[in-house]
C-alpha cells in the first residue's frame, strides 16, 4: 500500500489541488493525502438520492 501512497503523492506534487503547493503535498501525512484524494475524486458527497437521475413528474 505504501507504493500507492507514493504514487498519489507524486501525482499531487506534479499537479497540486487549488489552494495548495507542492510543498504542502510533500509535508502531508499519508492519512491526510488519502483523505484528500478521496474527497477530490468523490462525485457528490452530499447526494441523498443515490442512483436517482433526472426530473420526474407524476
Q: Would you list the domain boundaries of the chain?
A: 2-41
Phi and psi torsions of 31, nearest 5°: -65, -40
DSSP, collapsed to helix, strand or coil, labels residue 7 as helix
> pTM above 0.85?
no
Instruction: Note whether 24 and 36 are within 8 A (CB).
Output: no
Crossing angle for the helix pair 2-14 and 30-41, nearest 10 degrees? 70
> For the segment 1-47, what is each residue's pLDDT rounded down to a tens digit?
678 999 999 999 999 999 999 999 999 999 999 999 998 988 765 55
- Residue carrying the nine cell digits 501525512: 29
Amino acid at each position: 500500500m505504501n507504493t500507492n501512497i507514493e504514487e498519489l503523492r507524486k501525482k499531487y506534487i506534479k499537479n497540486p489541488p487549488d489552494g495548495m503547493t507542492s510543498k504542502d503535498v510533500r509535508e502531508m501525512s499519508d492519512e491526510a493525502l488519502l483523505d484528500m484524494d478521496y474527497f477530490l475524486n468523490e462525485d457528490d458527497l452530499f447526494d441523498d438520492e443515490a442512483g436517482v437521475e433526472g426530473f420526474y413528474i407524476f
